[in-house]
């Protein structure tokens, strides 16, 4: 039954449709200057395109499985019961803070430019988490809830992660430039984004395909980026990309590129629940 459902899915058409849905947000982002809180944390208006993956996923799922399938997809926002091995909450919640701390330490050791007065907005951390949990839900119900399983079935876990990660990174390029970043910044951030997708799929496959787990991890990515000194103004994507790349490589070696999980086969991994 699971295999038949996966065969119906069209992940590559889904990705193209997400891009099409995002075009109005890119245009609005180009015509609109961010103000207020968005400017403070340097988020362009086009970031609202986070709703596009879930919209696309719901449309495709309704077409393939009817209203019942669409309801099941939405329910996966809180499918935390799939995470049988609670140890996986450690990487879900703590891996990105560790990456951020390592990046800061490397920047200090390398004497990289850092603000003279460091400010970490701990008081608004809960607000950051709620906001980024909502935006991550909009993305991961599409990327993880709809696209990645059939892609893995056809390409294997690592290859699917790299393909989806590249599509995910390219999807962000226009908002990155609308945030007034340099070409070098965008290039390194795209590399970091691809590496992060490998880690998201690793978490997904080892938590019985929990979309909730990927949503929380995705939210932690953004929380840590904007909790980095002075609302992320000191964030260096080059250092983050290198650290994330090392971790993603280690994960691939230790868990295996075929499944990125402790399963004998990808079918066993994707067939759970």
pLDDT for 71-81, tens place per residue? 999 999 999 99
Task: Give burial (CB, 10 Å; 0-12/13-18/19+) of 159.
Answer: middle
DSSP 147: I
What is the rounded average pLDDT of the residues 186-196? 98
| Cβ–Cβ under 8 Å, residues 269 and 261 | yes
Q: For residue 229, what is the DSSP state?
A: T
Q: Residue 83 and residue 272: Cα distance in Å, rounded?
A: 11
Q: Where residue 6 falls among pLDDT bands split at 50, 70, 90? A: low
Residue 60 and residue 10 in contact, taking contact as beta carbons nearer than 8 Å: yes
Residues 85-107: what's their mean pLDDT? 96
Q: Which of 2-11, 87-96, 147-156, 178-187 has the lowest mean pLDDT?
A: 2-11
Distance CA 257, CA 255 (A): 7
The percent of residues above 90 in pLDDT, for the chain, comes to 78
pLDDT in tens, 111-156: 888 877 777 778 889 999 999 999 999 999 999 999 999 999 999 9
pLDDT 10s digits, 35-46: 444 445 678 999
Q: What are the pLDDT digits (tens) for 224-248?
A: 998 888 777 889 999 999 999 999 9
Q: Are 49 and 180 in contact (CB under 8 A)?
A: no
Structural contact between residues 83 and 223, judged by C-beta atoms closer than 8 angstroms: no
pLDDT value of residue 36: 42
Using CA atoms, how far apart are residues 163 and 209, in angstroms rounded to an integer?
A: 18
- Whether the pTM exceeds 0.85: the reply is yes
- pLDDT for the residue 79: 98
Average pLDDT, the chain: 91
Determine the average pLDDT of the residues in 61-89: 97
User: How many Cβ atoms are within 10 Å of 255's Cβ, its own excluded?
Assistant: 18
């Amino acid at each position: 039954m699971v295999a038949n459902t996966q065969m119906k899915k069209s992940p590559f058409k889904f990705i193209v449709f997400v891009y099409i849905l995002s075009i109005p947000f890119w245009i609005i982002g180009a015509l609109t200057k961010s103000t207020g809180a968005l400017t403070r944390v340097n988020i362009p208006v086009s970031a609202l395109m986070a709703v596009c993956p879930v919209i696309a996923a719901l449309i495709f799922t309704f077409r393939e499985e009817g209203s019942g399938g669409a309801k099941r997809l939405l329910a996966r926002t809180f499918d935390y019961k799939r995470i049988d091995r609670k140890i996986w909450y450690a990487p879900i919640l703590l891996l990105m803070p560790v990456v951020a701390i390592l990046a800061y330490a490397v920047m200090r050791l390398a004497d990289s430019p850092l603000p003279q007065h460091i400010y970490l907005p701990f008081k608004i951390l809960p607000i950051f988490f709620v906001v980024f949990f909502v935006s991550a839900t909009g993305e991961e119900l599409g990327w993880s809830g709809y696209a990645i399983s059939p892609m893995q079935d056809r390409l294997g876990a690592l290859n699917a992660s790299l393909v989806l990660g590249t599509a995910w990174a390219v999807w962000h390029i226009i908002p990155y430039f609308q945030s007034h970043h340099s070409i070098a910044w965008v290039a390194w951030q795209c590399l970091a984004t691809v590496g992060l997708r490998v880690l998201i799929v690793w978490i997904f496959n080892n938590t019985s395909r929990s979309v909730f787990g990927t949503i929380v991890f995705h939210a932690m990515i953004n929380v840590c980026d904007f909790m980095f000194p002075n609302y992320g103004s000191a964030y260096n994507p080059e250092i983050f990309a290198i650290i994330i790349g090392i971790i993603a490589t280690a994960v691939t070696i230790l868990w295996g590129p075929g499944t990125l999980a402790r399963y004998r086969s990808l079918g066993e991994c994707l067939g759970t629940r």
